[in-house]
Amino acid sequence: MWRWKMKMAKTFSEFTVAGPMVQSCCFSMEEDTPRSPGPCLLRINCRVVAMDLRAHGDTKVKNPDDLSADTMAKDIGKVIEALYGESPPPIMIIGHSMGGAIAVHTAVANHVPSLLGLCVIDVVEGTAMDALNSMQNFLRSRPRTFKSLENAIEWSVKSGQIRNIESARVSMGGQVKKCEESTSSPGVSNSIGEGIIEEDEDEEGEEESNKKRMKEDEQEMTKESLFTWRVELSKTEKYWDGWFRGLSSLFLTCPVPKLLLLAGVDRLDKDLTIGQMQGKFQMQVLPQCGHAVHEDAPEKVADALATFMVRHKFTEFKEGYLC
């Protein structure tokens, strides 16, 4: 079912150094683009595997539309099993936003029996559930297409989606894809595309007009634009609730050391606030970052991860990189 690639932005990417393994399902609501593990690898001894989950890149599966939390969590377990068989090395899972939710579901379901630790980046049940109410409006506000990859990178920075231009140059290439060359849409007749409306115009004029407009929009999109979003997030709405509902309690019940990285302390919900006061997890706030914390401040995130892993004796700093 899986097609394996040893290249960045394919099914998985592996960077090997002596030490425990860091399993990254680090992706935002936009996509699943493996981020460069370089800064983290410079500081500590570890191995990083970055996954490309179903429907997010070149991975081929039987049912790419099944993006439920349970299915994607099982996918991670299957990848670990395929990589390491019945004896996987100690593993720490890291995930951002929806990827953080999948990391939690993976940990709770024990799909990674050698799990060592868990890091979740800027995802909290309370704020995530509140944000879902306006998510469709947000998605509609984004450009549907871009004339070039450079144009997509420029938009991501100017819109504030990513605040680090270097990170945007890395990640936007995985968030968008080239538009198909075809200028016609299946199931729509040429007469509609050409604006010819015959006998039923009076009764179905409005409907035909809408179809004509949609057809023209699609033709214009293909004609003038080269890139569009890789994942049509609006079509995944039925899974949103399952990703985030109950996430805080699941996170707190994970029986491994946990790190929560946030862009602002105001993102904490009640359960996590109580859990943090009880010392159930380590929290670090990285101010002056947007939602894509790991892209806006990659060095600070790498420092936080390295310090956390060394503190819990998962690994040790390399010589010359003591924090």
- Catalytic annotation, residues: 97, 122, 291
Secondary structure (H, E, C), the chain: CCCCCECCCCCEEEECCCCCEEEECCCCCCCCCCCCCHHHHHHECCEEEEECCCCCCCCCCCCCCCCCHHHHHHHHHHHHHHHHCCCCCCEEEEEECHHHHHHHHHHHCCCCCCEEEEEEECCCHHHHHHHHCCHHHHHHHCCCEECCHHHHHHHHHHCCCCCCHHHHHHHHHHHEEECCCCCCCCCCCHHHHCCCCCCCHHHHHHHHHHHHHHHHHHHHHHHHCCEEECCCHHHHHHHHHHHHCCHHHHHHHCCCCEEEEECCHHHCCHHHHHHHHCCCCEEEECCCCCCCHHHHCHHHHHHHHHHHHHHCCCCCECCCCCC
Could you tell me if 179 and 226 are in contact, meaning their C-beta atoms sit under 8 angstroms apart?
Answer: yes
Q: Which residues contact 149 (CB under 8 A, 6 or more apart)?
A: 172, 173, 176, 227
Residue whose tokens read 């570890």: 46
91-96 and 227-229 strand pairing: unpaired
Q: What angle do CA 53, 54, 56 make, to 5 degrees?
A: 75
